[in-house]
Amino acid sequence: MAGAAVAGLLTRAALVRAMMTDGPGAYIAGAMNRDFQRTSPDAALSDVLPTLTGPERCVLVLDAEDHLVGMLTSENVSEFILLRQAELHTK
Q: What is the pTM of this model?
A: 0.74
**Rounded-to-integer distance, Cα 75 and Cα 65, Å:** 27
Q: What digits encode the pLDDT tens for the residues 58-83?
A: 899 999 988 899 999 988 888 988 99
For 7, the 3-state DSSP assignment is coil
Homologous superfamily, domain 35-90 = CBS-domain (3.10.580.10)
Q: What per-residue confidence (pLDDT) applies to 7?
A: 87
Q: Indicate the domain borders of the chain.
A: 35-90
